[in-house]
Amino acid sequence: MNVLPVFYSRIFILIFASTLASTALASEPVSNTPHWQFALGLGYGVRTNPVMDNGDIPLLVLPFVSYQGDHFFLQNLDLGYKFYESESQQFSVLLTPSYDQVFFNRWDANNFVSTSGLMDTKVSYGPELLEKNIQIDKSKLHERRMAALGGLEYTAHSETLELQIQALHELTNYYEGDELRLALSKNIDLNRSQIKLTLGANWQSNKTLEYFYGLRPSEAKQVPAYTPNAGLSSLMRFDWNYQLDEHWSLHFFTSYRHLSDEITRSPLITHNNVVTAFAGGVYHF
């Protein structure tokens, strides 16, 4: 059964219902003066790696590139086109990368952008092997590539809250999987300090999880093959920013991603979470 039409029909219904529920929509798009923003974060951070005996991922330099036009926008690795915008809502077509391949490739484009992940005091750092993956020959595993995901993005925001929904399908023909990402953020402005709290979830189809975390029969010589079903991971994130002057600010963020049971049961996985943290200075050009 092809679940893709059902998947997209549900998200279309959700977005359409959100539109009808908002009585304060402006009838005309909001006019934005096109502008670029560039910033460079320098500091130290780490993203823990749940994949067997793969080391944690360093975060040292975090560039930020942003462009906001009347319709087109760019934010780091996300490229989009806004086809509707009001003072409180926005509908866009979005092109964005997959994130899971970063755990298999130590140096990856996602090493240089801050994606959602999270914080737990019971994390073991560094390479580790469990009984379930000690007999796996990693040289036999297929390559996990960075894929391009495309789909729809819906954003609704008030003065302090923002809701974001993304319905995405893999376009590069590596695994033809789907993802549904949801995030709710609360912004707190304290003069020079800004705090952002985010809760979210990421549903990934069976094809997505099979590509990244499955174990094919040809790869499973000493252990049983593993084919995961679809799974839902949860997300939390804390951001703090302090503006020093016109160009410099201090930035700290930490995030926690609790992996779905379908990922955790994979023979390739040693932890059920991913912790990310970074602290440093940011120069705004």
Of the two residues 221 and 31, the one the predictor is more confident about is: 221
d(CA 104, CA 191): 41
pLDDT value for 268: 92
Of 22-31, 134-143, 200-209, the poorest mean pLDDT is in 22-31
Domain boundaries, the chain: 32-284
Cα 168 to chain center, whole Å?
12
Residues 170-195 have a mean pLDDT of 95
Residues 84-94 have a mean pLDDT of 94
Of 9-23, 26-40, 57-71, the poorest mean pLDDT is in 9-23
pLDDT value for 185: 97
d(CA 123, CA 90): 38
- Location of structure tokens 């391009």: 148
Residue 109 has pLDDT above 80, yes or no: no
Residue 134 has pLDDT above 60, yes or no: no
d(CA 179, CA 205): 6
d(CA 51, CA 214): 12
- Location of structure tokens 């798009």: 29
Is the pTM above the cut of 0.85?
Answer: no
CATH fold group of domain 32-284? Porin (2.40.160)
Q: Are 26 and 87 in contact (CB under 8 A)?
A: yes
- 18 φ/ψ sector (left φ>0, alpha ψ -120 to 50, else beta): alpha
